[in-house]
């Protein structure tokens, strides 16, 4: 993220994105900053060389923040209030890579499960992040949370993802929309291409997702690609309704309404001038 905050905010603004979860920031501290275009980045990191995560909210949602929970430099979530909806918890997560030791991986998955369990069942949640696992191209037997449109071959880390999805009944959203490979691949380096970034949500929210795909053309990073989902919640306006100002209808000046206005303006000016003179 160093030196790229403005570029990211420009992309979010151009794509009309309300919420963005980012990983591997490599920023130290638990802070908040404006990154441009009225987007607010809330982040948590313990080192300038590894990990670090954040949640970015647009101008409307950043004013609805109720709580910020920074669990570690791999897990955090932000709770926001919505109109006519339960609170929405936005989780940004960054799973250990394949080369990390077993203990670090176990700590991550245990912390993530505990974090999700601590979110009240009456509230909604969306999880987005780099989970560093392959869920496979097709749904595995007994897993209804895989939509059947994944990429690659299932691996051990992918099994952890599917277990999490099953245990908490959180569909993997980007596996429910049939796309070309270019819109499924979230990480590409040379000839190596894979899907390691995912968006998950409560099962009750699944029907409100209109689309989910990778946008390969954005130049922010050379390897990771922007994964975007379109969610349309019912009975909620993303922006407050502002009462429009009354317009002056100049085209009525040469009509009957215009004659009436001319008379009233003339009377007002005459009265005003009389007060000044006398």
Q: What local confidence, expressed as pLDDT, does residue 267 receive?
A: 79
Q: What local confidence, expressed as pLDDT, does residue 94 receive?
A: 97
Which CA distances in Å does 238 have to 10, 23, 85, 89, 233? Answer: 19, 25, 12, 16, 9
Return the structure tokens found at 250: 């100049």
Helix 156-167 × helix 102-117 angle, to 10°: 10
Name residues of the chain where pLDDT drops below 70. 1-2, 141-142, 219, 236-251, 272-278
Predicted TM-score of the model (pTM): 0.83
Q: What local confidence, expressed as pLDDT, does residue 276 receive?
A: 52
Q: What local confidence, expressed as pLDDT, does residue 217 receive?
A: 81
Q: Is residue 86 classed as helix, strand or coil in its secondary structure?
A: coil
* Residues 200 and 173: beta-carbon distance below 8 Å: yes
Strand partners, 172: 200
Strand partners, 42: 32, 55
Q: What local confidence, expressed as pLDDT, does residue 229 receive?
A: 97
Residue 203 neighbours by CB under 8 Å, 6+ apart = 145, 169, 170, 171
Q: What local confidence, expressed as pLDDT, does residue 246 receive?
A: 61
Q: What local confidence, expressed as pLDDT, does residue 237 receive?
A: 61
Task: Report the distance separating Cα 161 and Cα 118, nearest Å.
Answer: 19
* Ramachandran quadrant class, 142 (left: phi over 0; alpha: psi -120 to 50; beta: rest): left
Residue ranges and CATH numbers for the domains of the chain are: 5-231 (3.60.10.10), 243-278 (no CATH)
Query: Residues 23-44: pLDDT tens digits?
Result: 999 899 999 999 999 999 999 9
Q: What local confidence, expressed as pLDDT, does residue 222 receive?
A: 72
Q: What local confidence, expressed as pLDDT, does residue 238 receive?
A: 54
Q: What local confidence, expressed as pLDDT, does residue 58 receive?
A: 96
Q: What local confidence, expressed as pLDDT, does residue 274 receive?
A: 61
């Amino acid at each position: 993220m160093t030196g790229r905050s403005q570029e990211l905010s420009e992309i979010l603004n151009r794509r009309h994105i309300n919420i963005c979860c980012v990983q591997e920031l490599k920023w130290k501290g638990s802070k908040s900053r404006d990154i441009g275009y009225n987007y607010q980045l809330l982040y948590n990191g313990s080192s300038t060389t590894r990990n670090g995560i954040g949640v970015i909210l647009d101008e409307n949602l950043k004013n609805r923040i109720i709580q910020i929970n920074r669990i570690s430099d791999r897990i955090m979530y932000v709770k926001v209030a919505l109109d006519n909806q339960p609170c929405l918890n936005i989780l940004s997560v960054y799973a250990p890579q394949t080369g990390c030791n077993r203990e670090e991986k176990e700590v991550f998955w245990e912390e993530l499960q505990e974090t999700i369990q601590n979110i009240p069942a009456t509230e909604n949640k969306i999880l987005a992040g780099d989970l560093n696992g392959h869920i496979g191209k097709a749904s595995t037997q007994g897993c209804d949370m895989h939509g059947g449109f994944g990429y690659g071959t299932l691996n051990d880390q992918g099994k952890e993802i599917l277990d999490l999805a099953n245990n908490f009944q959180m569909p993997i959203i980007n596996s429910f929309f049939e796309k070309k490979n270019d819109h499924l691949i979230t990480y590409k380096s040379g000839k190596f291409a894979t899907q390691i970034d995912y968006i998950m949500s409560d099962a009750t929210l699944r029907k409100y997702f209109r689309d989910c795909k990778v946008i390969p053309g954005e130049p922010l990073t050379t390897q990771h690609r922007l994964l975007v989902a379109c969610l349309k919640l019912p009975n909620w306006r993303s922006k407050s309704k502002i009462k429009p100002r009354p317009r002056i209808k100049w085209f009525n000046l040469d009509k009957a309404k215009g004659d009436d206005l001319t008379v009233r303006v003339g009377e007002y000016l005459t009265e005003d001038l009389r007060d000044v003179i006398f």
